[in-house]
Amino acid sequence: MATIHVRHLRKQYRTSRRPHDVLGGLRALLGRDSIVVCALDDVSFDIEEGECVGYIGQNGAGKSTTIKLLTGILVPDGGEIEVAGLVPWRQRERNALNIGAVFGQRTQLWWDLPLIDSFELIGQMYRIPRARYRRNLDHFVDLLDMAAFIETPVRQLSLGQRMRGDLVAAMLYEPRILYLDEPTIGLDVLARERIRLFLEEINRTGRTTIVLTTHDLRDVERLCRRVLLIDHGRLLYDGAVDELKKVHASYRLLTVETIHAGIVVTVPGAEVIRREGAKTWLRFCPEQHSVAELIADVTRRYEIADLAVAEPELEAVVRGIYEGL
Amino acid sequence: MDRQIATWPNALAYLRLVSMAARTIYVYRANIGVNLLAMVVQLYLLKVVWSAVYAGRSTIAGVGLDELLQYLVLSNIQVWLLSPSLPAFVQDRVRTGQIAIDLVRPVAFRGQLIAQQAGTTVGMLPFVLLALPLAVGMGGLRLPSSLVMACLYAISLSLGFLIVTQIGLLLGLLAFWTLETTGFLALYRFVVQFFGGALVPLWFLPPPLRGVAELLPFQFQAFVPASIYLDRLGGDELLHALALQVLWVVGLFVLSRLVWQWAITRAVINGG
């Protein structure tokens, strides 16, 4: 069976509806009206060992709920989940030995104590043999350049440093599966890049299965070949990133920069999407107009300084899908 | 990595949790200091009031002022040392959703919490040693009458610790339903002071109130261990008290287990 096996998964939340008037609070004391919100509705997928899958969707789509169900901290209302042969919510503590989790909005590090203390605790919680613990710690500290702040109390770390600490905490015991919930949220370009490199490395060398939830689709584009797209608790797309682009954004982008500014570039068969100075951005459909023809046409008619053809970014593709919903 | 299936509790992990919680206390030493000061002031006020009550009398209800002051020193230090840290801790983690982190650990949640409370208490011990000379200067405190009594006192106090821990845990778990436990905690503090016997020893309570106090577990945080220390409980009474403590520990342990299982199946983990 697949490492992660999910069938017809369903999760509902009950929230209270309270009238916003003076007596609302009083009535709420006596008993409340509750409404049921469906967070996940009939979601099924399989993830194989060693895959790195992007799990994307808008805020409130059900991403975090899925991660919580996979880690066993929520009990589903219907359907099946199996992670490495275990049912997470029934065997939560055993499941915990197989998984690592990084929640970008929280930290598993001990706030008031030096970073190294949290690592030592994890070493003991997961019963990592001492030699292995040392080896992994040295390797990760080196890889993420953490030697300078490993003795610093966690509350004094920058967000980027803390996130590196959290990644190491989740990987020290070499879990089979790593769940990443917004691991690059709020990080600067350099910190984000460092974390991407780290994830690439562990996915390549360790055969760790990675499920990555993020709003930064550049993370997905960089790390994942497969993507799950969820909206309002339903799975909209499950497949290759390339395929998603091909289906939902069959166009290409053409950027033309002329030698002299102020020239209005138009290309038959391509739509202008933006102009700025000597640069023009256009999009076209490669099935109707070949790239070679378009380029030949442009270079014949204008004095070109620079010219580039690109695939749309995943971000633009997904935005297009959301807008079409 | 090969996983050994954990069939025995992970003692090393629990020990480390205890030591980390103890060291965290030290980070907040200023706060603990202020807390301790409040306890010493309360002790001083109790001394003034009770001395006035005793004016001209050598004993009340068979208890001399000397012994009463010793009792107050002991019971107030006990209540302070065993004050539950878990309600605030659990509430905070439930409200913010940080509990998600505790639940993806391969160590039982209630075990983590007991270790947390143990660490807090261990971390506060050095502060007690700091305050002890002051307290003793106010009320005087003799050593236990024998080594056996000292041991029985230690056992009773340890059982008291377990009772407080379970009560604190239950108060914290209320946060799953109410999100806020400070009200319950304030109630608990009052009840411990009064029905636990830290303000007025249970000897002095009128029979109906004393009956209520003896039905409640709060006497085990203050009154019962202090009475054992002062040789006020002997023979059958003492064994009876210890047995009752064990029963309370077991009962509360089972209850907190049930409440926890109920809480976790209906849990909402807050935050994205």
Cβ–Cβ below 8 Å for B24 and A110: yes
**Which residue reads 């996983």 in tokens?**
B3
- pLDDT of B2 higher than 50: no
Q: What is the pLDDT of residue B204?
A: 92
- Which CATH architecture is the domain A250-324 placed in? 2-Layer Sandwich (3.30)
pLDDT over 50 at A220, yes or no: yes
Buried/exposed code over A299-310 (b: 16+ C-beta within 10 A; e: otherwise): eeebeeeeeeee
Range of the domain at B44: 11-265
Percent of chain B with pLDDT over 70: 96
In-domain check, residue B5: no
What's the whole-number mean pLDDT along residues B29-47?
A: 89
Distance between A284 CA and the closest CA of chain B, angstroms: 38
Q: Is B6 on the interface with A (CB under 8 A)?
A: yes
What is the share, in percent, of chain A residues with pLDDT greater than 70? Answer: 94
**Contact B1/A73, CB-based, under 8 Å?**
no
d(CA B169, CA B257): 10
Say what the pLDDT of residue A243 is. Answer: 87
Q: Cβ atoms within 10 A of the Cβ of A58, count?
A: 15
The pLDDT value recorded for residue B35 is 87
For range B101-107, the mean pLDDT = 92
Burial class (CB in 10 A: 0-12, 13-18, 19+), A287: exposed
Does B12 reach chain A within 8 Å, measured CB to CB?
yes
Q: Which residue has the higher pLDDT, A36 or B246?
A: B246
B108 touches A: beta carbon within 8 Å: yes
Mean pLDDT of the region B185-195 = 90
Average pLDDT of span B226-230: 94
Q: Token pair for residue B254? A: 């089972």
pLDDT category at B1 given cuts 50, 70, 90 is: very low
Using a CB-CB cut-off of 8 Å, the residues of chain B touching A124 are: 10, 12-13, 16
- 8 A C-beta contact, residue A46 and residue A2: yes
> What's the CA gap between B218 and A57, in Å, rounded?
51
Residues of A in contact with B269 (CB under 8 A): 68, 73-74
Is pLDDT at A109 greater than 80 in this prediction? yes
Degrees, nearest 5: CA angle B237-B213-B43: 95
If phi > 0 it is left, if psi is from -120 to 50 it is alpha, else beta; for residue A213 that is beta
Find the mean pLDDT for residues B192-203: 92
* Chain A residues lying within 8 Å of B106, measured CB to CB: 93-94, 96-97, 125-126
Residues A58-71 pLDDT 10s? 888 889 899 999 99
Question: Is the residue at B181 inside a domain?
Answer: yes
Q: Average pLDDT in the B193-209 region?
A: 92
Interface contact B264-A59, CB threshold 8 A: no
Q: Which amino acid is at A232?
A: H
Task: State the best of A121, A154, A162, A180 to mutate against chain B, taking most chain B CBs within 10 Å.
Answer: A121
Best of A91, A92, A176 to mutate (most B CBs within 10 Å, chain B): A92
In this predicted structure, the answer to whether residue B151 has a pLDDT above a threshold of 80 is yes
Cβ of B7 under 8 Å from any chain A Cβ?
no
Instruction: Provide the b/e sequence for A9-36 (b: ≥16 CB within 10 Å).
Output: bbbeeeeeeeeeeeeeeeeeeeeeeeee
Residue B270 lies in a domain: no
CA–CA separation, B223 and B230 (whole Å): 11
Q: What pTM was computed for the model?
A: 0.84
CB-nearest partner of B24 from A64, A113, A174: A113
Give the minimum alpha-carbon distance from B192 to chain A in angstroms, rounded to a whole number. Answer: 28
Show residues of chain A in contact with B97, CB under 8 Å: 106
Q: Is A75 on the interface with B (CB under 8 A)?
A: yes
pLDDT greater at residue A35 or residue B260 = B260
User: Does residue B1 form part of some domain?
Assistant: no
Split at pLDDT 50, 70, 90, the class of B253 is very high
DSSP structure string for B216-241: SGGGGTTHHHHHHHTT-S-HHHHHHH
Handedness of CA A54, A105, B176, B259 (dihedral sign): positive
Are the CB atoms for B226 and B139 separated by under 8 Å? Answer: no
CB-based contact (8 Å) between B1 and chain A? yes
Nearest CA to A3 out of A195, A183, A187, A210 is that of: A210
pLDDT of A21 reads 62
Instruction: Determine the residue among A11, A16, A37, A93 to mutate to test chain B binding: the one whose Cβ has the most chain B Cβ atoms within 10 Å.
Output: A93
| Domain range annotation of chain A | 4-246, 250-324
Q: What CATH superfamily classification does A4-246 receive?
A: P-loop containing nucleotide triphosphate hydrolases (3.40.50.300)
Q: Is the pLDDT of residue B144 over 50?
A: yes
Residue showing tokens 């080196």:
A142
For residue B265, the chain A residue with the least C-alpha distance is A75
* Region B236-261 average pLDDT: 95
Establish if B270 touches chain A: CB-CB under 8 angstroms. Answer: no
pLDDT at B125 over 70: yes
Q: What is the pLDDT of residue B158?
A: 96
Question: Which token pair is A141?
Answer: 């500290």
Domain count, chain B: 1
Provide the number of CB pairs (under 8 Å) joining chain A to chain B.
89
> Using 50, 70 and 90 to split pLDDT, how confident is the model at B272?
low
Q: Is the pLDDT of residue A93 over 60?
A: yes
| Min Cα–Cα distance to chain A from B269, Å | 7
Most confident of A183-192, A255-264, B54-63, B214-223: B214-223
What six digits make up the tokens of A219?
Answer: 């993370």
- The larger pLDDT score, comparing residue B132 to residue A115, is at A115
Q: Rounded to 5 degrees, what are φ and ψ at A280?
A: -135, 135
Q: Does B179 touch chain A (CB under 8 A)?
A: no
pLDDT confidence bin for A263, thresholds 50/70/90: confident
Interface test with A, best of B104, B178, B270 (most A CBs within 10 A): B104
By DSSP bridging, strand A177-181 and strand A270-276 are unpaired
Which among B4, B96, B264 has CB closest to A127? B4
Band of pLDDT at residue A102, cut at 50, 70 and 90: very high
For the segment A17-33, what is each residue's pLDDT rounded down to a tens digit? Answer: 655 666 655 665 666 56
- Residue A91: the pLDDT is 92
- Say if residues B169 and B256 touch (Cβ distance below 8 Å): yes
- Asked if A107 contacts A154 with a C-beta cutoff of 8 angstroms, the reply is yes
Say if CB A41 and CB A233 are below 8 A apart: yes
Q: Do A105 and B271 touch (CB under 8 A)?
A: yes
Residue B4 lies inside a defined structural domain of this protein:
no
Q: Does B7 score more than 60 pLDDT? A: no
Give residue B95's pLDDT band: very low, low, confident or very high (50, 70, 90). Answer: confident
Interface touch A75/B265, C-beta < 8 Å: yes
Token pair in block for residue A61:
């789509």
